Amino acid sequence: MKVAIMQPYLFPYIGYFQLINSVDKFFVFDDVNYINKGWVNRNRILINGKDNLFTIPLQDASQNRIIKDIEVSPDEKWRKKFLKSIEMAYSKAPYYEFTYSLIKKVMLTEEKLITAIILNSLKEILQHLEIKTEIVVASEVYSYGAIKGVDRILKICESEKADHYINPIGGTELYQKDIFEKNNIQLSFIKSRPVVYPQFKNEFIPWLSIIDVMMFNSKEQIQEYLNAYDLI
């Protein structure tokens, strides 16, 4: 049983989906503190040949609040503004029609919680890419009260009878393999290989939102990208 755990991110880069695709169960860590200027409600897209940061406005977000309790701004204008930005940026992209309709379905919803919007986006994208990994909302199954950090991860792995935990490469300084080995769990770090594709006639800008990847690539090509990683 392979397991991964990550915070909920809206339209993240393809490495997030590589991680999901590499495991049997993916836990959405929604009951941890929100991080200002993190990736929960923002990412980068291509506008006029340059990377541009989009941000979904949140209501009363702070690092003292749990992600799952945070709502998006009640001002509905931001939804249409966001969609208009996508339209203007990508209307001439080869896979615009399908990708835009997916984004529109996710964003024009009555959902108020940012995590609900994110979970809906994951559902739509994973279904499109035929990724069969089971998605589990951590707070609904394994809250574990005061247990935090690596101890909580180990507890989830133990409860799931997982023997392999996969983490993004950025966690190499946070998690020690010997601690996991003592609990009979293999720890691996996933490292994405370069994913390069035409972005109109512009110089390629890597690691933009999955929105960009879907605008310029067929489902079959993205499925190949999903396996473009190494476990370290």
Consecutive sets of 10 residues in the chain, 232 residues long: mean pLDDT of each? Answer: 97 98 97 94 97 96 95 93 97 98 96 97 98 96 79 94 96 91 97 98 96 98 98 96
The tokens describing 136, both together, are: 């589990």
- What residue type is 212 in one-letter code? D
Residue by residue, DSSP assigns 61-103 as: --TTSBGGGPEEPS-THHHHHHHHHHHHHHTTSTTHHHHHHHH
The tokens describing 216, both together, are: 């310029």
Residue 143 has a pLDDT of 75
Separation CA 217–CA 83 (nearest Å):
20
Residue 174 bridge partners (DSSP): none
- Model confidence, pTM: 0.96
Residue 155 has a pLDDT of 93
Contact between 154 and 180 under an 8 Å Cβ cutoff? The reply is: yes
For 58, the 3-state DSSP assignment is strand
Residue 76 has a pLDDT of 85
Residue 227 has a pLDDT of 97
Would you kindly state where each structural domain of the chain is located, as residue ranges?
A: 2-231
The tokens describing 35, both together, are: 């991080």
Residue 145 has a pLDDT of 66
The tokens describing 101, both together, are: 């309709």
